[in-house]
Structure 1
């Protein structure tokens, strides 16, 4: 994502949140256990974007950055449990057992989903270390709040705007994931049209 004005990024984020909620309202799907798990995780992915938006609006930027890894995890797990997991693995997850490690999830998705799986792997390979540092209080969080003799967060508007744009994009992909589970091509097309209307200017600058 290019550097952009934070106010513009948060306005785009707000417009997408409203549109996404409107478009997903009333969506129905075949309520198998596999579908419910996948849709619930995609819904969590969307909600993490909403949470980060609220945090940024209130100046709590470090915690907003910490939500990017959980958002990506929710999105990746949603696809894995829908497309890759055995019935036994699905049942274990519902009973509270941890899913496989992220490296296995993205590897399986790359084999099953083709290009979309390759994109998931590329995002993981390029950003996973930073995601973990943001979420678990790594050096990147320390450096962002150590200014001379002060301790306060110092995330720039440009970086924060990039985060919100990236999380809104992942929210959009989560919404598409729900449309896929619902086997609703018309919904997917409406999501695409609305997201493009809001974000086409951003993507055109990449």
Structure 2
């Protein structure tokens, strides 16, 4: 700015509480990796949906890694990819026809998010408590802003005295809760694909445990 001096970026520091939240997210990533099923039936539906759910889990690991290394802005930018991979996995698992999947696997018929969400909302059993639709309606616009370098991303780099990452602890904690929740859902979907009843019990207990913490 002409006639003024702006302090340039320095590394954003975390509070002890936020540092512990990031460690918890790392622990969750490790737990999901250790407990996810290793085999499933070799069908197009399982291959495609399983790929999407695993991509969501990989993105979760990446976002947590970025957070742990103080790369907050790219972590926020990548969060959309976790959500989108999870929803596309649901599309392949529950909504797509065999014809849809056949076209998709050869590079045709890529589903749009608008149509996926519309189908999820109209599905009688997929979103009984309207949780997925509510999460999408609340998160999609902010996720796009962060992912595409929109105003929400830039606003967190402009303070009264400097240009540097200035995401609040609450904002980072909210993002961690969101990605943890989605990653857990993605792994549960993998358990369902594998028809792994023994793991279903393990994940039910873990979900009940996590519901009593601030991980979600």
What is the TM-score of this pair, normalised by structure 1?
Answer: 0.88
Over residues 9-65 of structure 1, what are the superposed CA-to-partner deviations in whole Å (9 max), with x where a residue is unaligned?
Answer: 1121122112111111x5211010110110110011111111010000111001111
Over residues 158-195 of structure 1, what are the superposed CA-to-partner deviations in whole Å (9 max), with x where a residue is unaligned?
Answer: 21122112211111000000011111222122123234
Alpha-carbon separation, structure 1, partners of 2:109 and 2:71: 30
Matched position secondary structure for 1:29 = coil
Question: For structure 2, which runs of at least 5 residues remain unmatched after alignment?
Answer: 1-15
Alpha-carbon separation, structure 2, partners of 1:168 and 1:192: 15
User: CA distance change for structure 1 residues 38 and 142 in 2, over 3 Å: closer, same or farther?
Assistant: same
Deviation at 1:107, TM superposition (A): 1.7
Matched position secondary structure for 2:130 = helix
Q: Hey, what does 2:193 align to over in structure 1? A: 181
- Residue 30 (structure 2) aligned to one of 18, 22, 37: 18
1:156-171 aligned at under 5 Å gives the runs: 156-171=168-183
How many pairs align?
A: 200
1:1-206 aligned at under 5 Å gives the runs: 5-24=17-36, 27-97=38-108, 99-112=110-123, 113-116=125-128, 118-148=130-160, 150-198=162-210, 200-202=212-214
The worse-fitting range, judged by mean Cα deviation, of 147-156 and 177-186 is: 147-156
Contact 2:127–2:133 (CA<8 Å) still a contact in 1?
no
4+ runs deviating over 3 angstroms: 195-199
Contact 1:5–1:161 (CA<8 Å) still a contact in 2?
no
Question: For structure 1, which runs of at least 5 residues remain unmatched after alignment?
Answer: none
Which structure dedicates a bigger proportion of its chain to helix?
A: 1
Say what the alpha-carbon RMSD is for the aligned residues. 2.1
What is the TM-score of this pair, normalised by structure 2?
Answer: 0.84
Over residues 76-104 of structure 1, what are the superposed CA-to-partner deviations in whole Å (9 max), with x where a residue is unaligned?
Answer: 01011111112222122222235222121
Deviation at 1:116, TM superposition (A): 4.8
Larger Rg: 2
Alpha-carbon separation, structure 2, partners of 1:171 and 1:153: 25
Higher relative contact order (CA 8 A, sep 6+): 1
